[in-house]
Structure 1
Amino acid sequence: MTTWYEEAFRPGSEIKGKWHGHIYIVERIIGAGSNGIVALVRRGNSRFALKAGYEAVDHQSEINSLVAIARKDNSFRNYLIDNDDMTVKGKDISFYVMRYIEGQTITDYLQKRGQDWIYVIGTNLLRKLTEIHQSGFVFGDLKTENMIVSGYGAVDLIDFGGVTPKGRAIKQLTEVYDRGFWSMGERVAEESYDLFSFAILLLKSLDHRNRFAGFAKMLPQNRELDQLTAIMRENKLAQQLSPFLLKALRGEFASSAEALRMWQGLVSGRKASAPKLKLPWLQICFAASVFLFAFTVYMMYG
């Protein structure tokens, strides 16, 4: 039996907004999660990502959160392109349309460009989280799959299904990124919740041994902070970031703005303490000048 989303998102299918009348042509499905499905669509010469939710109430809540965040003067202002309903088999399905961003996962990006790019990516991701927090929300389900890295470390968040108003119970999560999973805090929408997930995301991205796959299978009584600090000890870059990471894991930041300031301090401190470049060409030039001087003296008096 064909499901409604298999019919609606068949390549070449036409999706028409019931209220705004915009028409989108489906190219292909690019993602599917627990709360919805995302397709790459085309309208005219422009390409977008269109997301339809499985549950009407949850999906409308996600749209409302996005609209509220986009009202602020921040980087999300042009994120939401359209939101409407489409009719499939006589049933109205709500959807929203967002910018389509081509990029890579943070893991792939670091493998290709080098782990030092974590400083730039971390700065940009923290800025995004700070903007969401200042709008009265928490992202909630922060993980490598829910962000895209492009260009020179630019970061875009791509799934807002876990966005939750501050003070409420987190509505969507992924266990290894969740502080409740590690018995290090409650599943409440606080800025510190996202900062914990941020620290886990960085450690997971820097860990060459892929230990998080094993962490997900561990019994609750065996999950300890020491398992995370082991990654910091073994990875040089994670070790440099450990003052920040430990503070985020322990929930010691008062806000994401404070976390961003500390992160920027680590980045600027790293630049200031960077070793001076060795310039062997100076030694070569000096040796060449000595040789020329000696040769000139020899020709004059030899």
Structure 2
Amino acid sequence: MNAAQRTPLRPGDRVVGKWSRQEWTVQAQLGAGANGAVYSVRGTDGALYAMKVCDDVGAVAFEWGLLEQLSSTGFAFPKPHCIDDSATHPALYFYVMEQVEGRPLDEIWKTLSSHDVKRVLLGVGYGLRALHKSQHAFCDVKPQNLLVDLRKNQCVRFVDVGGVTPFGRSVRQFTPTSDAAYWGFGERRASARYDIEAVALMVATLFESVPQSLPQWPVERRQAWILRSIRGRHDKSVGAMLEDAVRGRIHTADEFVRRLYTLNLRSTSVVKQSAPKARTRAPRSATAPTAGQRRGPFGNKPVHSSAKARRRSADWTERLMWWALTCAVISTAGAWAEYLR
């Protein structure tokens, strides 16, 4: 455990940069990771920022360099603002970046429709595509590292660069349930394929919670469980895509995005509804369809089958009338032509 985690900053604490002389006031702790903690801070300009605090200057310099590099490849990661060490807190190294708006994916997952899930995963795919162009993998894919802004059409942002690793290197930080090697599907080495596998595994474990005893299971049993969970999806096209991803058959973020676009999903909740233990008769309501009724195309007002039949009969009567009228006009015109000739 590092110093930043042993002695956390408290709301109201002031951090003054030793070299920049800029000042930030701590608002709240946003989270803590393997190599430091992240705080919401307010600058002297009144704006809110996120401050990553470590006791290791090397970790700060490494992550800062990655942020600077990634800021030119896309918008998924926070924009870097300033790097410094503290003049008021000894051995406190930090960098300041954009504070990303949104909520962690696991907090909103159960509220998303299938179309919302598709939109979120497309956002993840686009973010990974930009990252992979720099020959880096995200690696530590987990819901807490993906913030979704519901006010901006499910815009997805990545908030932790601690696990970002150059292609071909061993993965330094990972979450076991999103790690292909943990499930026996691949090696723990940074690549585009590793990230796609991680996203699919994350989605599968969001659909269905993993058993508490999973860490004690052998790899073969874990693999059988995750595949059974994926194949049990109500939407078979989603299950097929997830299985292809976890088995390493989707190699790039571009391919992942293309597969997502081919999914034709219904606007339903992604949460499985458990069957009731006993059958009960629900009371009829003004909006619930009864026998001889069906819902309209947007699921709002019930439409009576008999009413539909009456409309269909009226449509045919109107067509027959216009057909007869047209024939009469043609016949009359022919008669006048014969008479005048």
Normalised TM-score (structure 1) = 0.81
1:35 aligned partner:
35
Q: Cα offset for 1:240?
A: 2.6
Q: Percent identity?
A: 24
Distance 1:66 1:283, change over 3 A: farther
Compute the RMSD of aligned alpha carbons. 2.9
Matches within 5 A, 1:78-97: 79-87=79-87, 89-91=89-91, 93-97=92-96
CA distance in 1, matches of 2:81, 2:309: 62
Matched, 1:118 2:138: no
Q: Cα offset for 1:119?
A: 0.5
1:248 aligned partner:
245
Matches within 5 A, 1:65-214: 65-72=66-73, 74-76=74-76, 79-87=79-87, 89-91=89-91, 93-151=92-150, 152-207=153-208, 210-211=209-210, 213-214=212-213
Distance 1:246 1:8, change over 3 A: closer
Question: Which letter maps to 1:230?
Answer: R
Q: Cα offset for 1:76?
A: 4.4
Q: How many pairs are equivalent?
A: 278
**Equivalent residue of 1:181, what SS?**
helix
Question: Which letter maps to 1:277?
Answer: P
**Equivalent residue of 1:236, what SS?**
coil
Deviations 1:246-279 (A, max 9, x none): 221111223222221222222xx448xxxx9268
1:300 aligned partner:
none
Distance 1:78 1:220, change over 3 A: closer
1:22 aligned partner:
22
2:226 aligned partner:
228
Matched, 1:261 2:258: yes
**Equivalent residue of 2:75, what SS?**
coil
Contact 1:199 1:245 in 2 (8 A): yes
Q: Cα offset for 1:112?
A: 2.4
CA distance in 1, matches of 2:238, 2:176: 23
Q: Cα offset for 1:203?
A: 0.9
2:330 aligned partner:
none
Contact 1:164 1:189 in 2 (8 A): yes
Runs of 4+ residues deviating >6 angstroms: none
Q: Cα offset for 1:142?
A: 0.5
CA distance in 2, matches of 1:277, 1:187: 48
**Equivalent residue of 2:103, what SS?**
coil
Deviations 1:129-162 (A, max 9, x none): 1111111211010001111112222111111110
Question: Which letter maps to 1:105?
Answer: P
**Equivalent residue of 2:241, what SS?**
helix
Q: Unpaired runs of 5+ in structure 2? A: 267-295, 315-341
Question: Which letter maps to 1:222?
Answer: R
Distance 1:7 1:175, change over 3 A: closer
Distance 1:40 1:281, change over 3 A: farther
**Equivalent residue of 1:30, what SS?**
strand
2:277 aligned partner:
none
Q: Cα offset for 1:54?
A: 3.9
2:336 aligned partner:
none
Q: Cα offset for 1:87?
A: 3.6
CA distance in 2, matches of 1:145, 1:258: 25
Deviations 1:170-201 (A, max 9, x none): 11111111111122211111111111110011
Contact 1:4 1:88 in 2 (8 A): no
Contact 2:193 2:251 in 1 (8 A): yes
Normalised TM-score (structure 2) = 0.72
CA distance in 1, matches of 2:20, 2:144: 31
1:296 aligned partner:
none
Contact 1:60 1:94 in 2 (8 A): no
Distance 1:184 1:75, change over 3 A: same
**Equivalent residue of 1:262, what SS?**
helix
Contact 1:136 1:165 in 2 (8 A): yes
For the pair shown, which has the larger CA radius of gyration, 1 or 2?
A: 2
Question: Which letter maps to 2:160?
Answer: D
Q: Unpaired runs of 5+ in structure 1? A: 291-302
Q: Cα offset for 1:45?
A: 2.3
